[in-house]
Amino acid sequence: MNISSGIIELDIQGPRDMAVVEYTLWQQSQVKDRKWKLEFQKACMAALDKGFDLAQIYADQNLTFFIQEDVIEGIARRFVSDIEKWVKLS
């Protein structure tokens, strides 16, 4: 993680598209409910379909995009907000 000009830049290793997939798998491992797991997958697919990587999602904090892509609000919030936590754990 690099902080410059007040903007936090995350140091995400590996291919950008695979980081989205790995992050989604981590999110899914944090829940037991099948519907929630599917909602995280939906968020992942929406991000990949539009070419968003985790750094962009983190910088934008645009949960409205995911809600418009039919991801339920709580999962959209978690998908957007937990990226920094995942990077620190990785």
pTM of the model: 0.89
45-74 average pLDDT score: 97
Give the per-residue pLDDT at 5. 40
Total number of domains in the chain: 1
Distance of alpha carbon 26 from the chain centroid: 10
Which residue, 30, 42, 32, is CA-closest to 73?
A: 42
Which candidate, 37, 80, 32, 33, places its Cα nearest to that of 56? 80
pLDDT for 15-51, tens place per residue?
Answer: 999 999 999 999 999 999 999 999 999 999 999 999 9
CB-based contact 6:45 (threshold 8 Å): no
Domain span holding position 69: 2-89
pLDDT surpassing 90 at residue 2: no
Backbone angles phi, psi at 53, to 5 degrees: -100, 175
